[in-house]
Amino acid sequence: MIKIKSMNLKNNPASGGVKCSSYFILRRAIWAILVLILFCAGCDLAYLFHAAAGQFRLLNDSIPIEEALNKGSLAPAQEARLRLVARIKDFGEKELGLKKTGNYETVYLCSPLRPIYTVSASPKDRLSQKTWWFPIVGDMPYLGFFDLESAKEERDRLIKKRLDVSLSVADAYSTLGWFKDPVTLNLIEGSTPDLVETILHEMPHTTLYLKGQGAFNEGLAVLVGKVGAFLFFEEVLGPSHPFTEEAKGSIEDERLFSRFLASLMDKLERLYNSPISYQEKLARREEVFAGSLEEFKHIRERFKTARFVHFGKRPLNNAYILSVGLYHRNFDLFEGVLGKKGGSIREMLLFFKELSKEKGDAIRHTQLWLRGLANPHT
């Protein structure tokens, strides 16, 4: 959901010296910090100021997309992708039923680096994500950092607590409507299918966000991003265009990977719930990890895109698996709802908005509904 990266932006020539409502952004950032301090007695104030300062720098050095296009400093492929952003947003809002916002109307050109590092953690003997509580968003399964060194410091601090830890870098972020999120340079330097999927992935976070339910929020976003990208390319470029074919292949790969990952996580949960010692669990989990990597070699041969080829390139641990599972474990579940709603993302979102009125775990409610056991009004 939120993805960040810190850099020295002052006097950067790419920003052209233009500020995007600097006073308003600074005032809003200060107000947000004060709210967090008031209602977040247990929070790390240094982290809050780090996040707020990084967010301010990112927004303050963003410029309107039209202004960036008029500068003529972008490569032709970058310019073409940046021009496409408005069309992606319009498609998401009008065709998919995503909320209309002021996001992605500005662009940050100061650095090609991806904007966020995330740190997550878990006990070594169970699949249970460590969470950090914040006002408004609730429990978060990771911390986002604007610079690598700060992320490494947090990683090392958690490792000293004998936790499994994962440090990742991500392509985009959503501030859930608190600020007007910009397009970042890394997105228009990447591929067009990745740009479309990423924007359509982030837009659901401002449409429907359930406090403290990361697996639901990210699982829904993955479904909307992938299926939405396919529908976008099919409408704009036609069913036989290479981008449409790639988007279709991405959905098929997601199904394969999600089922593999769900099976791996089920095996680990059975192991960790068994009545054996802590040390024996750690030894046996290494056998599960090794077996899963062998299995993945065969699955990788069936992929049609490169979306998941890097899985397993780093050593497996609970934090890494959980951070991947947050996004990809429940794809079949969300696709099942989409199918029952006639393949309409708009109708699926309306269903989930109604379902979100129920107290408790939205993933569990969805499972019950698909089995015909939920309340009839949903």
Three-state secondary structure call for residue 193: helix
Q: Which residues does 156 contact at the CB level (< 8 Å), separation at least 6?
A: none
Three-state secondary structure call for residue 108: strand
Domain-located, residue 180: yes
Is the model's pLDDT at 17 over the cut of 60?
no
pLDDT attached to residue 2: 39
pLDDT tens sequence across 234-244: 999 999 999 99
DSSP 212-268: T-HHHHHHHHHHHHHHHHHHHHHHHT-TTSHHHHHHHHHHHHHHHHHHHHHHHHHHH
Domain-located, residue 36: yes
Q: How far is CA 55 from CA 48, 65, 202, 277, 342, in A?
A: 11, 19, 17, 45, 39
| Count of C-beta atoms within a 10 Å radius of residue 271 | 18
The boundaries of the domain holding residue 121 are 13-194
Question: Which residue in this structure is represented by tokens 């985009």?
Answer: 172
Question: Which residue in this structure is represented by tokens 């109604």?
Answer: 354
pLDDT tens sequence across 115-160: 689 999 999 999 999 988 877 667 788 888 888 999 999 999 999 9
Domain-located, residue 323: no
Domain-located, residue 345: no
pLDDT tens sequence across 165-213: 999 987 886 777 777 899 999 999 999 999 999 999 999 999 999 988 9
Q: How far is CA 311 from CA 105, 206, 216, 323, in A?
A: 33, 29, 22, 12
Question: DSSP secondary-structure letter at 43?
Answer: S
Number of structural domains (the chain) is 1
List the strands of the sheet with 116-122, edge to edge.
143-145, 116-122, 164-170
Local confidence band at 274 (pLDDT 50, 70, 90 cut-offs): very high
Domain-located, residue 37: yes
Domain-located, residue 1: no
Q: How far is CA 231 from CA 33, 220, 221, 225, 234, in A?
A: 39, 16, 15, 10, 5
pLDDT tens sequence across 46-103: 777 777 777 778 778 889 999 999 998 899 999 999 999 999 999 999 999 999 999 9
Domain-located, residue 33: yes
Domain-located, residue 262: no
| Of 2-6, 122-126, 282-286, the least confident | 2-6
